Chain A
Amino acid sequence: MKASTQERLKSTAAHVFLIGFIALILFPFLMVIAISFRKGNFALGALIPTGEDLSLEHWKYVLGIPYTETMPDGSVRTVQASTPVLQWFWNSLKVSTSASLLIILLSGTAAYAFARMQFAAREQLLKSLLILQVFPMVLALVAIYALLQLIGEFIPAFGLNTHPGLVLTYLGGIAIYIWMIKGYFDTIPVSIEESAKIDGATHFQAFVRILLPMSAPIFAVVFILSFISHISEYPVASVVLQTEGKWTLAVGAQSFLYEQNYLWGKFAATAVLSGLPITVMFLFCQRFLISGLTSGGVKE
């Protein structure tokens, strides 16, 4: 009896702690959602907007749907969004998806070389990759700006204020992904590829037909991580992309906050919008995040 009371106490305490913890995480998120549905641009207010407070004006604005607004003097006017939020949304998707796909391609092949091939200065290269990654990309903003301008003179499609140019700079930050994928490759026994080689596979065929299918989980992880970090990336995007029509959501959302006026409502709606593709991507990638994909091939 005494033991079961203690057990119950323990379990209650654990639940209280966990629920409190989840609330702590969810609260800011719920606040952002609340702000996006609240009339006017106020950061504070009820967590669940009701009645007079509830309004879809920010969402209509963000989605480019005209809506009516009552002015302080009592007159009513129709508002049509002047900023292309949906265009930003599309830009973000385009940049993040293509950057993530290219990152998988580049870091996957690089990781294969680091994990499986012997070449001069292999160890040193691996370590220097990690050290370089210690410096945030923001520190190289000036260099990135100058480089893109220079590239733009020869290949305009990859210059400043272009999406390919932005993707190009994002491809510079793949060291951490190379390390992650290499770590995964290292756990896959070499003998599987050797046996593919005896079966007549080239290096490339062994990589594509044997190693890649076994490595789906790590590629899913890398894709998600890269997608999240690039859809929310602000500093580089804000420098590279200069005209409103080219902005990504992160840059665009920031434009709602200027010194004279913080448009919290529109900012919040944009923020929630940028979370949508991440959620969708996560649900999609989840089916690759299965364990046991490599089991059975060798005796562990």
Chain B
Amino acid sequence: MGIVSIKTLDKTYPASGKNPAFRAVKGIDLEIPDGEFIVLVGPSGCGKSTTLRMVAGLEKISGGTISIDGVVVNDLLPKDRGIAMVFQNYALYPHLTLFENMAFGLRLAKTPKTEIHRRVTDAAKILGLENILERKPAALSGGQRQRVAVGRSIVRDPKVFLFDEPLSNLDAKMRVQMRSEIAKLHARLGTTMIYVTHDQVEAMTMGDRICVMKDGEIMQVADPLTLYNKPDNVFVAGFIGSPPMNLFKGTLERREGRLFFHETAEADALFVPLTGQMAKLVAGREGKPVFFGIRPENISESPHAIDSTPITATVELSEPMGSETNVYLKTGAGNLIARLHTERLIAMGDSLTIHLNLAKAHLFDATTEQVIR
């Protein structure tokens, strides 16, 4: 079992010297069911690592509680919490062999020798390290070292695995490989895993659920597709996805009985007629400031969807990728990026008419930055 329950968790670093007090985590709540792979993701300084380190017991908790399997662990030592952690910089013991690196915790716990041997070799087999157990960390590649760090965690047989940006120090190729290895490991062990990363691709591909954080607060917790298709707020909408969602600030206007989104800009302002479901959604909000968001792939050259609406703009830049072309269209405050499936080259300066699929577009209240649903 490994149910982690975080309640109104708070972390404040006291003022020291010239630095004022800093509230890194602001009363967050999070329930992690047994066996879930949850990813904490967010920009640097959002409190995701601090949260993980509080679960690990490496950071004192300023307020709230963390329970693992119903036991409040606030005052327990790391070793008594039933957790294991993999660090970004591997944090292996450089003077010990791989075997001793993995056996260190068991030796401290006075585990019988045969048991140590069994558990270390089992873990080594899972990770393909069985032939290099007598080597020292210096003789290994980055990927192997991180595998040893994972092995050290497996040997502890924890209720919860904690990963603190474990792939950030690996090169791109090794990162992709280790990503799938950790995902497979989760499938094999079925243990609860909490994974911290700033990389949204890792978050999307690995997590059962993703918890997006910003400035010490949780923005949204959801499975990857919900997060992608139904972001709760402007931050999540802009953070998840590459290229990111197009977001424009503007107001809702009614002209001749029809609703429009009007971008706030001096010139080239985007003017989007709102129809269908979206028009009903925002009825009565005329004159209010809003954010209009649409993902590049929900824009097409021909009107596929029922709720699509056409706009015409000038092409500023076109990036043919082969199967698709990213087109940057000029708008008031910047660019509208459209990912068009087209086989013809689109020239810069062209005037292009595109169709926005409003069923997949989002409107956010500009003051609360929350989605209007």
Most buried by B among A123, A191, A205, A213: A191
Q: Is A187 an interface residue (CB 8 A)?
A: no
- The reply to whether A295 and B138 contact each other, CB–CB distance below 8 Å, is yes
In the assembled complex, the Cα of A187 lies from the Cα of B58 at a distance in Å of 20
- The reply to whether A191 and B89 contact each other, CB–CB distance below 8 Å, is yes
Please pick, from A194, A198, A294, the residue contacting B84 in the complex, using a CB distance under 8 A.
Answer: A198
Q: Is A200 an interface residue (CB 8 A)?
A: yes
Known contacts A293-B94, A296-B136: A197-B87 contact under CB 8 Å: no
Complex interface residues of chain A between 193 and 215 (CB less than 8 A to chain B): 194-201, 205, 209-210, 213-214
Residues of B within 8 Å of A192, CB to CB, are: 91-94
Residues of B within 8 Å of A195, CB to CB, are: 85, 87, 91-92, 149, 152
Residues of A within 8 Å of B56, CB to CB, are: 198
- The reply to whether B79 and A200 contact each other, CB–CB distance below 8 Å, is yes
Residue of A nearest to B78 (CB): A198
- The reply to whether A298 and B108 contact each other, CB–CB distance below 8 Å, is no
Q: Is B35 an interface residue (CB 8 A)?
A: no
Q: Is B140 an interface residue (CB 8 A)?
A: yes
Residue of A nearest to B53 (CB): A194
- The reply to whether B87 and A296 contact each other, CB–CB distance below 8 Å, is no
Q: Is A172 an interface residue (CB 8 A)?
A: no
Residues of B within 8 Å of A297, CB to CB, are: 90-94, 137
Residues of A within 8 Å of B77, CB to CB, are: 197
- The reply to whether A296 and B137 contact each other, CB–CB distance below 8 Å, is yes
Q: Is B238 an interface residue (CB 8 A)?
A: no
Residues of A within 8 Å of B138, CB to CB, are: 292, 295-296
Residue interface mask B106-119, A partner, CB < 8 A = 1: 00110000000000
Please pick, from B88, B95, B109, B136, the residue contacting A200 in the complex, using a CB distance under 8 A.
Answer: B109
Number of residues of chain B lying within 8 A (CB) of chain A: 34
Please pick, from B79, B84, B91, B104, the residue contacting A189 in the complex, using a CB distance under 8 A.
Answer: B91
Residues of B within 8 Å of A200, CB to CB, are: 78-79, 105, 108-109
- The reply to whether A198 and B85 contact each other, CB–CB distance below 8 Å, is yes
**B87 → chain A, closest Cβ, in Å?**
5
**A28 → chain B, closest Cβ, in Å?**
41
Q: Is B139 an interface residue (CB 8 A)?
A: yes
Residues of A within 8 Å of B108, CB to CB, are: 199-201, 205
- The reply to whether A199 and B105 contact each other, CB–CB distance below 8 Å, is yes
Residue interface mask B44-62, A partner, CB < 8 A = 1: 0000000000001110000
- The reply to whether B85 and A298 contact each other, CB–CB distance below 8 Å, is no
**B295 → chain A, closest Cβ, in Å?**
35
- The reply to whether B109 and A298 contact each other, CB–CB distance below 8 Å, is no
Q: Is B156 an interface residue (CB 8 A)?
A: yes
Q: Is A299 an interface residue (CB 8 A)?
A: yes
Known contacts A195-B85, A292-B138: A298-B79 contact under CB 8 Å: no
**B8 → chain A, closest Cβ, in Å?**
25
Residue of B nearest to A199 (CB): B105
Residue of A nearest to B142 (CB): A299
- The reply to whether A296 and B79 contact each other, CB–CB distance below 8 Å, is no
Residue of A nearest to B155 (CB): A199
- The reply to whether B105 and A296 contact each other, CB–CB distance below 8 Å, is no
Complex interface residues of chain A between 163 and 221 (CB less than 8 A to chain B): 189, 191-192, 194-201, 205, 209-210, 213-214
- The reply to whether A299 and B85 contact each other, CB–CB distance below 8 Å, is no
Q: Is B145 an interface residue (CB 8 A)?
A: yes
Residues of A within 8 Å of B87, CB to CB, are: 191, 194-195, 298
Known contacts A296-B137, A298-B90, A299-B89: A196-B104 contact under CB 8 Å: yes
Residues of B within 8 Å of A123, CB to CB, are: 17
What are 20 A-B pairs at a CB distance below 8 A? A191-B88, A191-B91, A192-B94, A194-B91, A195-B92, A197-B78, A198-B78, A198-B83, A198-B85, A198-B156, A199-B105, A199-B152, A214-B94, A295-B138, A296-B145, A297-B92, A298-B87, A299-B88, A299-B89, A299-B90
Q: Give B residues with C-beta under 8 Å from A.
A: 17, 56-58, 77-79, 83-85, 87-95, 104-105, 108-109, 136-140, 142, 145, 149, 152, 156, 169
In the A-B complex, the 4 residue pairs with the smallest Cβ-Cβ separation, listed nearest first, are: A296-B138, A199-B105, A297-B94, A200-B79
